[in-house]
Structure 1
Amino acid sequence: MRNVLQSKFLWASALVLSLSIAGCNIFNPTESINIKDDDAQALTYEGYKKIRDNEYSNAEYYFNKAIAADSSYSQAWFGLMKAILNRKLNTTQETNVFSLLSYVNASRDSKVPFSGMSDAIAIQLQDAIDSVNAIANQFIERDKAGKTDSVITYKTISEGYMVLQMMKTMLVLRKTTQSMEGCSLQKGQQNSCDMASVLNNIKSDPAETVESFNAVFKTCEESPESMTKMFDSYLQGFDNLKEEAQRSAVSSMCGALAQETDKAKDNEDQQTKTLNIIIGQFGYSDIIDDDGDGCVDEELYDGEDNDGDGEIDEDVSDKTNKIEYDNDMILKNVTAGKTAIRDLRVISRVNPNEKYETVDIDMNGKTVADNRDELETEWAFVYPKYQDRVNNNNHRLVFATGLTFNPQGLPPEEYNAYKHAIAKDKDINNIQYDLAFRKQYIGGCWANYDEKRFMQWFEGRN
C-alpha cells in the first residue's frame, strides 16, 4: 500500500514533476504553431511571433484582436493565456518559470510552501495566476458549450491549468504559515514548521482554499490523466486498477470531491468538512473532534456513516491508517458506472497506524496501545463483510453500537447546529457548552467523558 507521506510535501513534488513534463501547456512560451495568414489566424500568428520574441504585451494585443475577430478560435485563447502568464512572470528574474522551480524544490525540502519567496513575489505570482484564470475560465466555459473550434480544448490545457491551481493552493498555505510559530519563509533559515498544523490551520479561513481545490478536482474529473501523473501516491485504493478502469475511478473520485467543494463554497461548516476530507486524504489528520460529537477522527472517508450520528465523513481520520480496500468490488462498481464515494472507497478492513494506536476514538479511557481488544471495537465494523453492511444499511464501527445520538430528539438541522457550535467552542477559559449540556443534547461519545477527559478535549484546539 502506498503511503502519501513518502513525500514531505505532496504539492511540491507534483509541481516539480508537472512543470518538467508539461508539454503543450501555458508555461511554454516558445511553442511553434502553424497558422494560415488570414484574419484571426493571421493575428494569432503575429501573437505567437511576439511571444517568441518575448514581447508579451504586443502578443496580448494580437491575441485579443484575434478573439474579437473570431471568438471560437482556440489558438488565440491559448496564446492569450501564454502571453499574460509570461508577461506577469517575467517582469523580474525572481518570477520566471525556472525560479518557481527553485521555490518549489525548496518547499519540498523544508515543508514550507514556496519557502524563501518574498511577499512581493507572492503577490506577483498570485496576480499572474488570477489573470490567467480569468481568461482560462472563459475559454473552458466556451469549450464545454461547444463554442470553440476544438483544435485546442480544456483537455489540452488541463495539465498546465491544474499546475496553476496547485500553485494558488500553495500560496494560500504559504500565507497560513506566516502566522505560525516556527514557519520561516526566509531563504537559508531553519524552520520547524509542522505540515499537519499548516494544513489544519487553513480551516480557520477555508473559503479561498476550497475554491482552489475545487478547480483542481474539476480539472482532474475532466482529465484524470493529469492526476494519475502528478498524484500517483494519492491513488490509494485505485493503484491495483489498470488503465481505463483507473482513469474512470480517478475521474469519478475527483468528480465526487468537486461536488464536495461545490457544496462548500457558501457554507463554512461544509467548507470545514470538505477540508477535513482533503486533509485526511493527504495523511495529515488533526486528531481532534472536528464535528462536536465527542468522538475523535471516527469517520473513514468511505462515503458512509461510520458512527451512526446521521452525518457522513464529517470527522475524517488519517489516510495512512492501515486501510485495506476491496479492489474487486471497486472494479465492479467502476465497470457498472457507479461514481459515488461509497462505491469507490469500498473498505474491507481497517487498522490504526502507529500514531492512532494511542488515540481514544470514543473517549472511554481505552486505546489500542493499552488493550489490543480495542482493535475489535474502535477499529472493526459491526458487519465485517461489505455486502452485509450494504444489506443491513449499517456501516458503523463496533464502538458506535453503544452510542445514542440526539437524545432529545431534536430536528436534524437543530441538532447538527448544536454539534457544529460545540466544535467551535475552543476556549478552555471561556467554555460555552459544559459537559452536562453536551451529554444531554448531543449524546454520542460525550456519554463516556468525565471532567478530566472533558478538559483534554480542548487540547490542541487553539
Structure 2
Amino acid sequence: MKNILKSKFLWTAALAACLTVVGCNIFNPTESVNIKNDDAKALTYEGYIKFRNKEYSEAETYFNKAIAVDSAHSEAWLGLMKSILNRKLNTTAETNVFSLLKYVNTNRDAGDMTVPFADLPDSVANTLRTAIDTVNSIATQFIERDKNGKTDGKVTYKYIADGYMVIQMLKTMLVLKTKMPLECANKSTRAELSNSSCSMQTILNDFKNDPNETVETFHEVFNTCEANPESMTSLFEDYLQGFGNEAGYLTKEAKNDAVKGMCSALAQETESAEDDVHQQSKTLNIIIGQLGYSDIIDDDGDGCIDEELYDGEDNDGDGEIDEDVSDKTNEIRYDDATIMKNIAQKKMSVKDLRVIKSAGPNEKYRNVDIDMNGKTVADDSDELDREWAFIYENYKDRVAHNDHRLVFSKDLPWNMEGGIEGLKARKQLIANDTNKDNPTYSLEDRKTMVGGCWVNYDEDSFKKWFDGRTK
C-alpha cells in the first residue's frame, strides 16, 4: 500500500501535545502529600498550600527549604519546578501557555511557513525563555538524582517526562525565534514573514551555520522521548510510517516501540554531534528534512543535490550516511512488513525503521537535477529510474550486497585518498567555499578533490551551484 508521508508541522503538534499536558498544569500537582511530623514533608506541604494559592515565590522558599532538609524528597523537587515555572509565566498576562497558542497557529498545508513565536513580543519571549532555562536547571538536577536512585521514588523522571518534553519543545521554538534576522521584526503580517528570509525554511537551514545550541535542544527532546515514548506516540501518528490509518492493526506497545526507536536513533544522532560541527550540520539536515523544509542545495560539498533518502544508509556511495538533506514530503513507499518485524524484534536504529521500497520526487523535486547531469524527472522520465531508484530494487538484496546506492551513483568516481574521513574533510572545505566571485576551489579542483557529482558540472552549472549559498 502506498504510503506517502504527510507534511506534518511538528511544532503545532507539539503545542497540541502541550495542551494535553497543560490541561493538568505542566508538572501536575501530586495532591497526595502525606503530612507527618517531619520537617521536609511539612515544608513541602506548606509549599503546596502556597502554590495552590498562587503565592509562587513563597512556595519556592518552602520547597527549597524542604530539599535542603532532605534532598531525596521528590515531591519538593516537583513543587519547586512548578512554582518557578508558574511564577515566571505569570509576570505578564501574555505568558500563560494557552495565550501562546496564537503565536504558533501555523498550517503548512495552507502555505504558512512562519517560525513559531515569530510575532511574539521579544519581552514575552525572553520571559518564557528565562522560565524554561531556570526550570531546566532544576529538572536536570532532579533527573540525575532520580536515575542514580538518590530520590524517594514517589515522583520519578517518568512522571514528569510529558511536561519536561513539552518544555524542551517550547525552548526549541524559542531558539528558532532568536535566530531570526533583525529585519524580521519589521514584518507586520504572517504572509510577509512566510515569504522572506524570515520563513521557517530559511531559519532552519541557517542553523547549520551555528548549530550547537539547536542540536543540544533537540537532543533533550529526543532523549526524553526515548525514556518515555508513550507521551509522544499520539504526536507521531502522522509523522512516522506505519502510523496512518492503514496501520490501525498496530498495538499500542508496537507504536510505543516504534516511537522509542526513532527517538533513540535521533537522540544518539544529536549526542554524537556534541563537539563536531560537521556532525551537527548533518544532524540538522536529518531533522530539517523530516520536517519537510529542505533547501534544495548541496549541503555536503559533493556536488549532488539532496541525494540522501534518510534511510540510515549510504545512498550515493561516498561512505557517509544521511549527510545531505532529504525531504520527507517526497513520495516514499515503505516496506511496512519489514518495519513491523524490526519493531517486534526491538531493532531500533534509523535504518530498521526507514526500510524503503521505492522513492519518487514530490512536485518541487521534479525539477531538481540531483546528479547534475543536465536532466530532471520533469523533462526526462528515465531519471525516475536513475536518480530515484535503488541499484538493488529489493531491500533484502540491498542488505545481502551491503549496497544501498541509487542507480545514478554507479557513475560517480570518489577520491577516497585518506579514506572516508579524508573525503569528508575535503567535502567540508568545499561546502564552506561559497564565495561566488572568488572561490577558493575551482571546478577542476572539486573534480580532483572529491569527484562525485562534480564530474557532471560545466562552468555554467558551477556558477549556479553558489546560488542560495552566498549570504
Give TM-score scaled by structure 1 length.
Answer: 0.93
For structure 2, the residue ranges without an aligned partner over 5 or more in a row are none
1:115-134 counterparts in 2 under 5 A? 115-134=118-137
Change (3 A) 1:110 1:52: farther
Aligned to 2:404: 395
Equivalent pair of 2:318/2:420 in contact (CA under 8 Å) = no
Aligned to 1:214: 219
Question: Aligned to 1:324, what secondary structure does the other structure show?
Answer: strand
1:5, distance to aligned residue in structure 2 (A): 2.6
1:335, distance to aligned residue in structure 2 (A): 1.5
Partners of 1:446 and 1:301 in 2: how far apart? Answer: 22
Question: Aligned to 2:387, what secondary structure does the other structure show?
Answer: coil
Q: Which one of the candidate residues 278, 294, 301 is aligned to 2:287?
A: 278
1:107, distance to aligned residue in structure 2 (A): 9.0
Q: Which one of the candidate residues 437, 445, 451 is aligned to 1:437?
A: 445
Structure 2 residue 153 is the aligned partner of structure 1 residue 145: no
1:184, distance to aligned residue in structure 2 (A): 5.1
Structure 2 residue 277 is the aligned partner of structure 1 residue 268: yes
Change (3 A) 1:402 1:379: same
The one-letter amino acid paired with 1:402 is D
1:371, distance to aligned residue in structure 2 (A): 0.5
Question: Aligned to 1:350, what secondary structure does the other structure show?
Answer: strand
1:344, distance to aligned residue in structure 2 (A): 1.3
Equivalent pair of 1:172/1:209 in contact (CA under 8 Å) = yes
1:145-294 counterparts in 2 under 5 A? 145-179=148-182, 190-191=192-193, 192=195, 193-239=198-244, 240=247, 241-294=250-303
Partners of 1:188 and 1:361 in 2: how far apart? Answer: 32
1:362-373 counterparts in 2 under 5 A? 362-373=371-382
Structure 2 residue 425 is the aligned partner of structure 1 residue 422: no
The one-letter amino acid paired with 1:151 is K
The one-letter amino acid paired with 2:116 is P
Partners of 2:366 and 2:129 in 1: how far apart? Answer: 41
Partners of 1:252 and 1:244 in 2: how far apart? Answer: 12
1:331, distance to aligned residue in structure 2 (A): 1.4
Partners of 1:14 and 1:99 in 2: how far apart? Answer: 15
The one-letter amino acid paired with 1:10 is L
Partners of 2:78 and 2:234 in 1: how far apart? Answer: 22
1:254-403 counterparts in 2 under 5 A? 254-403=263-412
The one-letter amino acid paired with 1:139 is F
1:105, distance to aligned residue in structure 2 (A): 3.2
Which deviations, in whole Å up to 9, do the C-alpha atoms of 1:413-462 show, x marking residues without a partner? 23211101101111201211110001112001111111111111111113
Aligned to 2:455: 447
Give TM-score scaled by structure 2 length.
Answer: 0.92
For structure 1, the residue ranges without an aligned partner over 5 or more in a row are none
Equivalent pair of 1:33/1:48 in contact (CA under 8 Å) = no
Partners of 2:58 and 2:90 in 1: how far apart? Answer: 14
Which deviations, in whole Å up to 9, do the C-alpha atoms of 1:260-294 show, x marking residues without a partner? 10011111111100000000011111111111111
Equivalent pair of 1:73/1:148 in contact (CA under 8 Å) = yes
Change (3 A) 1:256 1:188: closer
Equivalent pair of 2:113/2:201 in contact (CA under 8 Å) = no
Partners of 1:333 and 1:189 in 2: how far apart? Answer: 43
Aligned-pair identity (%): 60
Aligned-residue CA RMSD (Å): 2.1
Give the number of aligned pairs. Answer: 457
Residues 367-376 or 414-423, more deviating? 414-423
1:30-109 counterparts in 2 under 5 A? 32-37=31-36, 38-105=38-105
Change (3 A) 1:100 1:244: same
Aligned to 1:460: 468
Partners of 1:17 and 1:248 in 2: how far apart? Answer: 19
Question: Aligned to 1:348, what secondary structure does the other structure show?
Answer: strand
Partners of 1:390 and 1:238 in 2: how far apart? Answer: 25
Q: Which one of the candidate residues 7, 10, 13 is aligned to 1:5?
A: 7
Q: Which one of the candidate residues 407, 410, 415 is aligned to 2:418?
A: 410
- The answer to which structure, 1 or 2, has the higher relative contact order (CA under 8 A, 6+ apart) is 2
Which deviations, in whole Å up to 9, do the C-alpha atoms of 1:391-430 show, x marking residues without a partner? 00100000001111116x3343232111011011112012
1:360, distance to aligned residue in structure 2 (A): 0.5
1:388, distance to aligned residue in structure 2 (A): 0.3
1:126, distance to aligned residue in structure 2 (A): 1.1
The one-letter amino acid paired with 1:42 is A
Partners of 1:250 and 1:59 in 2: how far apart? Answer: 37
Question: Aligned to 1:355, what secondary structure does the other structure show?
Answer: helix
